[in-house]
Structure 1
Amino acid sequence: MADQPWFDSCAHVEGVLLDISGVLYDSGEGGGTPITGSIEAVQRLKASDLKVRFCTNETQCTTKQIVEKLTKLGFDLQLNELFSPAPAACQVLREKSLKPFLVVHPDALPDFAEFDLSEPHNCVVLGDAVSGFSYENMNKAFRVLINQDNPLLISMGRGRYYKETDGLVLDVGPFKAALEYAVDCEAVVVGKPAQGFFMSALKDMGVKPENAIMVGDDIVNDVGGAQACGIRGLQVRTGKFRPSDEHHPSVKPDGFVDNLAQAVDLLLKNRHK
């Protein structure tokens, strides 16, 4: 059972925000592996009167490919239900008419097809580039930034690590921190835990923060980020969760559950009591 009676105050919940990697599935070879019970849990949520949106910092592919991958794994979601960092990053580039140097995964490049990627660049966009995080690419990014009077680094998330089927792997956050340190700048973060990211999903649902709940495996970016917006944050013990998260020095989740299936069970059983 859950450790805290978060579900006792769920009567006014109208919308649910779901992280993807580590909550729905563990990423890895072949598209990843669904976490036990998560496919059915999403089906139950969407069959209820609750509104559901999927909030991810996934940047290894396009938003369309994320939906296609999850659909192939058996999940029910539509493109307009997905919120990811790439569209937010593109909006910043578009508004400022920028020419970015991209440190992103090759599969994510189509999301940036509208932009002029030729030199000279005047900003850097950082995503989960995996093998693209080479010294050569990071040094090119450094040179773009260090030569600007006001260096602009756009980071699609700031996660420290995430879980693949064979273990934990570095996320974009450590590389963001390296460039920030080298250039003495502060990145513009799009995606979780940025307040605008959460609020855009709530606006799309037409749900107020106090009537929403976020379910995630990242205690800082998912849970802490949601709570900073006035959204309840629920921590699952799947994905990147580690036992030390239960004693985190600054983020105190509204509740802990073993997995998404348990969260949905408790939420649906207690909403109308």
Structure 2
Amino acid sequence: MTDWTKIPIKGILLDITGVLYESGGQAIDGSIDAVARLMKSKIPVRFCTNETSCTRKALVEKLHRFGFSMEEKDVFPPIPAMSSILKQRKLRPFTILKPEAMADMSEIDCSNPNCVVIGDATTEFSYETLNKAFQLLVSLDMPLLFSLGRGKYYNENGKLALDVGCYMKALEYACDIQAEIVGKPSRSFFNAALEDMSVSADQVVMIGDDVVNDVGGAQSCGMRGVLVRTGKYRFQDENHPEVKPDGIVDNLAQAVDMILKAL
């Protein structure tokens, strides 16, 4: 690992679940104060999440209940980006998403679908829904599968749970196709947040609990990636065969201490 604070830091990207709060639980110790201190420092902060179990508005309202004070415009989940893609490409999706999340796709025509979109559907995933997605994809001359992230698992109430990437891989295998990822670790997703901050990638640090999608995804875009030992973190992540974090910290509070000390 390098001294990831040595190069000036002009922007911060934060994952949400597993960094700010535990899925299904409460805010992680020190995270509320850590975010407040970052914002007070005037360093631009954006929140990049693959959370698609609810609307962006509902997610921000939940964070506010925890005690965070970010604005909705600074939170980057995949569904708004997915909606833009569907509109631009005139696509009509068959969706496997939680009903609570569909409000962010209210302007999208889902009749006579010609593509499939999957996200954090949890209990909406079943043999029946996956089979419908499969049947649609194999019926199309040019099948299109969009996945709102590609995580393998996440931490929920202290236990690991299957993430959307597992279902994405099943459909890829069955249909002999490759999904388009909308969300981390796609470059276009990270770049949207960078453009919003007007900061170059080499001056930005991404802090997350997913060594591949948060840390590795950020590094592939030219950013520094810092791994936190909260959320879905496992000790094996520190010796990942492909991704080497620029830094590893116990939690967000420790990372912010190091950032502010280096200013």
TM-score range, shorter chain: over 0.9
Counterpart for residue 113 of structure 2: 121
Conservation of the 8 A alpha-carbon contact between 1:4 and 1:256: no
Q: Give a deviation string over 1:167-210, Cα, whole Å, max 9, x none.
A: 11111000000000000001010000000111110110010001
Counterpart for residue 15 of structure 1: 11
Please give the residue correspondences for 1:99-138 in structure 2 after superposition, counting only pairs within 5 Å: 99-118=92-111, 120-138=112-130
Q: Give a deviation string over 1:207-236, Cα, whole Å, max 9, x none.
A: 000110000000000000000000000000
Counterpart for residue 4 of structure 2: 6
- Aligned positions, number: 263
Q: Aligned partners of 2:252, 2:66: CA distance in 1, in Å?
A: 16
For 2:3, the aligned partner's letter is P
Q: Aligned partners of 1:59, 1:98: CA distance in 2, in Å?
A: 19
CA RMSD across the alignment = 1.0
Counterpart for residue 152 of structure 1: 144
**Are positions 1:95 and 2:88 aligned together?**
yes
Conservation of the 8 A alpha-carbon contact between 1:21 and 1:56: yes
Task: Give the unaligned 5+ runs of structure 1.
Answer: none
For 1:33, the aligned partner's letter is Q
For 2:191, the aligned partner's letter is M
Task: Give the unaligned 5+ runs of structure 2.
Answer: none
Q: Aligned partners of 1:21, 1:255: CA distance in 2, in Å?
A: 19
Give the superposition deviation at 1:6.
2.2
Give the SS at the match of 2:32.
helix
Give the SS at the match of 2:205.
strand
TM-score using structure 2 length: 0.98
For 1:115, the aligned partner's letter is I
Q: Give a deviation string over 1:122-144, Cα, whole Å, max 9, x none.
A: 00000010000011100011111
Conservation of the 8 A alpha-carbon contact between 1:21 and 1:239: yes
**Are positions 1:197 and 2:195 aligned together?**
no
Please give the residue correspondences for 1:1-273 in structure 2 after superposition, counting only pairs within 5 Å: 5-7=3-5, 9-10=6-7, 12-28=8-24, 32-118=25-111, 120-271=112-263
Give the superposition deviation at 1:4.
5.3
Q: Aligned partners of 2:132, 2:240: CA distance in 1, in Å?
A: 36
For 1:20, the aligned partner's letter is I
Q: Give a deviation string over 1:8-27, Cα, whole Å, max 9, x none.
A: x14x2110000000000011
Q: Give a deviation string over 1:93-123, Cα, whole Å, max 9, x none.
A: 10121111010011101111112222x2100
Structure 1 ranges of 4+ moved more than 2 A: 3-7
Give the superposition deviation at 1:242.
0.4
For 2:156, the aligned partner's letter is E
Give the SS at the match of 1:264.
helix
For 1:36, the aligned partner's letter is D
Q: Aligned partners of 1:133, 1:269: CA distance in 2, in Å?
A: 45
Q: Aligned partners of 1:229, 1:74: CA distance in 2, in Å?
A: 31
Q: Aligned partners of 2:10, 2:158: CA distance in 1, in Å?
A: 36
TM-score using structure 1 length: 0.94
Give the SS at the match of 1:207.
coil
Conservation of the 8 A alpha-carbon contact between 1:45 and 1:264: yes
Conservation of the 8 A alpha-carbon contact between 1:33 and 1:165: no
Give the superposition deviation at 1:76.
1.3
Conservation of the 8 A alpha-carbon contact between 1:19 and 1:217: yes
Identity value in percent: 55
